[in-house]
Amino acid sequence: MLTGINPEQKMEKHIYKETIGELEDKLSDLQQKVREAGLPVVIVFEGWSSSGKGTHMARVVNPLDPRYFDVRTTGKITQDKEMRPFLWSYWSYLPPAGQIVIMDKSWHRLILPEWRDAWGLSHTEVNGFYFDVNAFERQLSDDGCLIIKLFLHISKEEQHKRFKALEKDPSTAWRVTEYDWEQNKNYEHYLHLYEKILNMTNKEDNPWHIIETNDRRFATHKIMKTIINALENRLNASETPKPEKARREKIPQILRSVSPDESMGHKEYNDELEHYQQKLKNMTNKMYARRRSAIIVYEGWDAAGKGGNIKRLTSEIDPRCYAVVPIGPPRIYEKTRQYLWRFMVKMPKDGHLTIFDRSWYGRVLVERVEELTPAHIWQRAYREINEFEQHLVGHGSVLLKFWLHIDKDEQLRRFEDRQNDPHKQHKITEEDWRNREKWDLYEAAVDEMLMKTHHSHSPWIIVESNSKRYARIKVLQTVTDALEDALR
Amino acid sequence: MLTGINPEQKMEKHIYKETIGELEDKLSDLQQKVREAGLPVVIVFEGWSSSGKGTHMARVVNPLDPRYFDVRTTGKITQDKEMRPFLWSYWSYLPPAGQIVIMDKSWHRLILPEWRDAWGLSHTEVNGFYFDVNAFERQLSDDGCLIIKLFLHISKEEQHKRFKALEKDPSTAWRVTEYDWEQNKNYEHYLHLYEKILNMTNKEDNPWHIIETNDRRFATHKIMKTIINALENRLNASETPKPEKARREKIPQILRSVSPDESMGHKEYNDELEHYQQKLKNMTNKMYARRRSAIIVYEGWDAAGKGGNIKRLTSEIDPRCYAVVPIGPPRIYEKTRQYLWRFMVKMPKDGHLTIFDRSWYGRVLVERVEELTPAHIWQRAYREINEFEQHLVGHGSVLLKFWLHIDKDEQLRRFEDRQNDPHKQHKITEEDWRNREKWDLYEAAVDEMLMKTHHSHSPWIIVESNSKRYARIKVLQTVTDALEDALR
């Protein structure tokens, strides 16, 4: 993409007719419309050192209302980032509906040597990660986010000239680093790397726009025009076409084939509990020392015993090493972002363990059954979830997903128990009874979820939970074994 | 405080009668009550290495519902923390109403050598910072937050024994660091340091509880009992006594003595604008290089021209170096915390500039005039604000506060202008007209604010703003000069 483009392109009157003032007015109007339309916008500034990212960002934000945009500098590798999946920090920067985020550098850095090293990725792994990056962008577009990707191109000679000029002025000399000079000296090598980045991530929905920056005036005009065109196209686009109806699929009845009836005596339970809790404590210590993280997902029927099960899992672990994240309906500020956002920002640092009490699977369970989300959106979610989990596991996290399974009779017994015990009455609500009426619908949803999102690297484990004792030991043992495996 | 206490205190039946199970049940009940009462609770675990902070935290959280507590590990010095005022990270960890935060280590570390070094503080400065720490705790208590401070004490011999035991087990050996051994070897020196920390921060409202930990069972009981007692005392406390009526004070009429009428010709304006914008760009580059931060506060009459003024201030600065933070009414999640919280979390990193478009002064302006906040609370705020700003400036930030001043006639002209211009109509609302009717009340509030919160290190600058041109240049020049001074 770059090799065909001459960064020396000069500003000539006939190319761009509008004045900067006119472009600024347009941009200011468009920002208002973005807000009204509730459109989230990400503008990515990538490119060579000294291609003028800062200056041109300043031009772009100049006409904007500061309440509705943010500039995010993403170009530094911090410990906080290194200790989490590569895309984690970018997720955290995403704009809510109606806001514009301008990113100084972006997830496309991945391929550059220092970034690769920070995450300890081989060349092959980097290529694998590109699938994650493209999936990330596609998921954002599917969710309605507009991504405008600008690559600021400059010639070797012009870059050299600019470095020299910066170095001459004491107030800017510090800006030119050793890395910058290395880039200039090995210009052709970096050209090749950039070319590869651009080629691997240039998609129809999210194309790259190359900006020739040797002539600053030309660059300013082209950047402003590119952004204006992208915003106008999106805002004027007619309704997105109704997605075709999903093909009816045959889903095997998985849950019905599993009897939740297992049992365990008191004595055996106590022995096993102590054994596995001690072993798990040990394993989490080792995970901490070896900087490995784990993610445990709990899903299951109402009254299946998630709370008590989690308590047994965590009670011997150092509380500084784990967190339990309870998931309820999304808050307002969570709803204005892609639905995976609120989960990604909670992901554990390396060395830590995060337990989700309900999870991102809400989209294909409660949101599907209660019709809170249109069908084509929750149907899309299986793939999104698989990609999301792939990225977590690719980072080296252990990921386990438990479905706590009881049968309908057992649930009734527990509901009635709760109703009759004054200490437990707060645990049972009208909603629980309503959910119970939809048992069959939930069962179908669970079956489809199990079928489409079970993978050897992120397995579903059905936990027979009619006996709480049995269920607790099964989870403890499964987690302990998985961590032991991971540490081997 | 420590020297009189024997860490070898043994568990004996007659000291604590309840079983651990009984204490756990109590704690679980109390958590529910904390939630109902909307009480924010901070439990601080401080103490010697290997005094069992992790183990005892685990005991405390064991009976708690994981949805309503958080464990925060605060003991690491990260770059993110070093680049901000010392208390910044602790502010960010504060619980909302009804939640419990358990802090592993705390702001009391300040005096320890490695912490002092990280923030580049001399011994004298550390002592100064203790005022900030005590002010921080007092502000939290005043806001209704319960702080339970535990110091885990251990004898030199027992600590030595525990280090050895940890080192023997390969899964825990990594936990014993060089620093730990140094602490053990220089036990008396650290005893002296801890003694000092405890003495300087032991206040009637927020006392320290010393826990003898040589005997783990004793320690567990004492910790549980201490927390239970503190929670019960607070929850059973009768209504806080109505604060006495504040003494009527004579406030000088400051605003009336300043004519907002200054003017500036077009030509002069353009020259000055270019001159100062370039100079400011230069200064912010230098501030970045020298890692100095600045905080600019804008307050002023409605239609005084804050937006346009901010735009002129920022338009030449690299957008990666500054942020504009517009302040509106607090969101729900902000309301459930001390009112300064939402400002502290937005404070700039070293090297950056943050501009607040309205600010924490809302408490003594709109909240006072509109009677959104009881009088004794906004009256208390002057001191809180002074302490808060003292802490920012103590960190090395430049802090400037501008009051954009126009007179009533000029405001009317601008309101009518807005009303008549279709492009500006969205900028004028019913609320603006209502505020205008309360001009005199606002004037009194501004006068008191100027009198009580103006200091040479965090000055108020009244900006004559009947002429927008004059006002813009005055702010630009003031900021540029202040940064130049700071860099000298």
Give the tokens for residue B45.
């675990």
pLDDT of residue A238: 67
Among A236, A270, A304, which residue terminates a domain? A236
Indicate whether A192 and A266 sit together in one domain: no
- Closest chain A residue to the Cα of B62, Cα to Cα: A315
* Tokens 């074994």 sit on residue: A481
Measured between beta carbons, the chain B residues lying within 8 angstroms of A323 are 70-71
- Closest chain B residue to the Cα of A77, Cα to Cα: B79
What does DSSP assign to residue B458? B
CATH of the domain at B466: 3.40.50.300
Q: Is B275 part of any domain?
A: yes
- What would the pLDDT profile of A410-454 be if each residue is shown by its tens digit? 999 999 999 998 878 888 888 899 999 999 999 999 999 999 999
Degrees, nearest 5: CA angle A151-A153-A159: 135
Q: Is A250 part of any domain?
A: no
pLDDT of residue A48: 94
Indicate whether B296 and B226 sit together in one domain: no
Q: Are A309 and A298 in contact (CB under 8 A)?
A: yes
B253 CB-contact burial (10 Å; exposed 0-12 / middle 13-18 / buried 19+): exposed
Q: What is the ipTM of this complex?
A: 0.73
Where on the phi/psi map is residue A27: left (φ > 0), alpha (ψ -120 to 50), or beta? alpha
3-state helix, strand, coil in chain B (%, to 5): 55, 15, 35
Measured between beta carbons, the chain B residues lying within 8 angstroms of A333 are 331, 333
Report the candidate in B178, B46, B180 with the shortest Cα–Cα distance to residue B110: B46
Q: Are B44 and B147 in contact (CB under 8 A)?
A: yes
Burial B2-15 (b: 16+ CB within 10 A, else e): beeeebebeeeeee
Q: Are B16 and B225 in contact (CB under 8 A)?
A: yes
Burial A38-50 (b: 16+ CB within 10 A, else e): ebbbbbbbbbbbb
Q: Is B13 part of any domain?
A: no
* Tokens 């005084």 sit on residue: B304
Residues in chain A: 488
Q: Is A310 part of any domain?
A: yes
Indicate whether B369 and B316 sit together in one domain: yes
- Closest chain B residue to the Cα of A355, Cα to Cα: B66
**How many Å lie between the alpha carbon of A195 and the closest alpha carbon of chain B?**
26
Structural domain including A218 reads: 20-236
pLDDT of residue B216: 92
- Interface size A-B, in CB pairs within 8 Å, comes to 84
**Mutation test of the interface with chain B: which of A174, A320, A484, choosing the one with the most B Cβ atoms within 10 A?**
A320
Whole-angstrom distance, CA of residue A110 vs CA of residue A117: 10
pLDDT of residue A12: 78
Which secondary-structure segment (H or E) carries A32?
helix A20-37
Indicate whether A231 and A197 sit together in one domain: yes
What does DSSP assign to residue A425? G
Indicate whether B214 and B293 sit together in one domain: no
Indicate whether B230 and B267 sit together in one domain: no
Q: Which residues lie across from A45 on neighbouring strands? A: A104, A150
**How many Å lie between the alpha carbon of A201 and the closest alpha carbon of chain B?**
25
- Closest chain A residue to the Cα of B285, Cα to Cα: A171
Q: Of the candidates A65, A79, A286, which has its C-beta nearest B78's C-beta?
A: A79
Q: Determine, for residues B319 and A282 on separate chains, whether the beta-carbon distance falls below 8 Å.
A: no
Indicate whether B194 and B285 sit together in one domain: no
Residues of chain A with pLDDT under 70: 238-247
Which secondary-structure segment (H or E) carries B463?
strand B460-464
- Closest chain A residue to the Cα of B72, Cα to Cα: A320
Q: Is A151 part of any domain?
A: yes
**How many Å lie between the alpha carbon of B57 and the closest alpha carbon of chain A?**
7
User: What's the number of domains chain B is made of?
Assistant: 2
- Closest chain B residue to the Cα of A280, Cα to Cα: B171
Measured between beta carbons, the chain B residues lying within 8 angstroms of A54 are 318-320
* Alpha helix positions (H), B38-108: 53-61, 79-82, 88-92
Whole-angstrom distance, CA of residue A366 vs CA of residue A434: 12
pLDDT of residue B246: 62
Q: Is B12 part of any domain?
A: no
What does DSSP assign to residue B422? T
Q: Of the candidates A73, A311, A317, which has its C-beta nearest B320's C-beta?
A: A73
pLDDT of residue A51: 95
Give the tokens for residue B148.
């339970």
* Tokens 């906040």 sit on residue: B373
Indicate whether A195 and A298 sit together in one domain: no
Indicate whether B215 and B298 sit together in one domain: no
Q: Is A146 part of any domain?
A: yes
Could you tell me the pTM of the whole model? Answer: 0.83
- Residues of B near A (CB-CB distance < 8 A)? 54-55, 57-58, 61-62, 65-67, 70-71, 73, 78-80, 102, 104, 171-172, 174-175, 282, 285-286, 289, 307, 310-311, 314-320, 323-324, 326, 331, 333, 357
Indicate whether A200 and A269 sit together in one domain: no
Among B209, B236, B263, which residue terminates a domain? B236
Give the tokens for residue B319.
């957008």
Indicate whether A222 and A367 sit together in one domain: no
SS3 readout for B252-271: CCCHHHCCCCCCCCHHHHHH
Among B236, B264, B291, which residue terminates a domain? B236
Q: Is B5 part of any domain?
A: no
Measured between beta carbons, the chain A residues lying within 8 angstroms of B319 are 54, 57-58, 61, 71, 102
Report the candidate in B461, B475, B449 with the shortest Cα–Cα distance to residue B386: B449
Measured between beta carbons, the chain B residues lying within 8 angstroms of A292 are none
pLDDT tens, position by position, for chain B (488 residues)? 888 888 888 887 777 888 999 999 999 999 999 999 999 999 999 999 999 999 999 999 999 988 889 999 988 888 888 899 999 999 999 999 999 999 999 998 877 878 888 888 887 788 778 889 999 999 999 999 999 999 999 999 999 999 999 999 887 888 899 989 999 999 999 999 899 889 989 998 899 999 999 999 999 999 999 999 999 999 998 666 666 666 678 888 999 999 999 999 999 999 999 999 999 999 999 999 999 999 999 999 999 999 999 999 999 999 999 999 999 999 888 888 999 999 999 999 999 999 999 999 999 999 999 999 999 999 999 999 999 999 999 999 999 999 999 999 999 999 999 999 887 888 888 889 999 999 999 999 999 999 999 999 999 999 999 999 999 999 999 999 999 999 99
pLDDT of residue A110: 80
Q: Of the candidates B66, B175, B282, which has its C-beta nearest A310's C-beta?
A: B66
Indicate whether A159 and A81 sit together in one domain: yes
Q: Show Cβ contacts of residue B94 under 8 Å, excluding neighbours closer than 6 positions.
A: B40, B42, B101, B140, B145, B337, B338, B341
Whole-angstrom distance, CA of residue B151 vs CA of residue B212: 9
- Residues of A near B (CB-CB distance < 8 A)? 54-55, 57-58, 61-62, 65-67, 70-71, 73, 78-80, 102, 104, 171-172, 174, 282, 285-286, 289, 307, 310-311, 314-320, 323-324, 326, 331, 333, 357
Q: Of the candidates A171, A310, A311, which has its C-beta nearest B285's C-beta?
A: A171
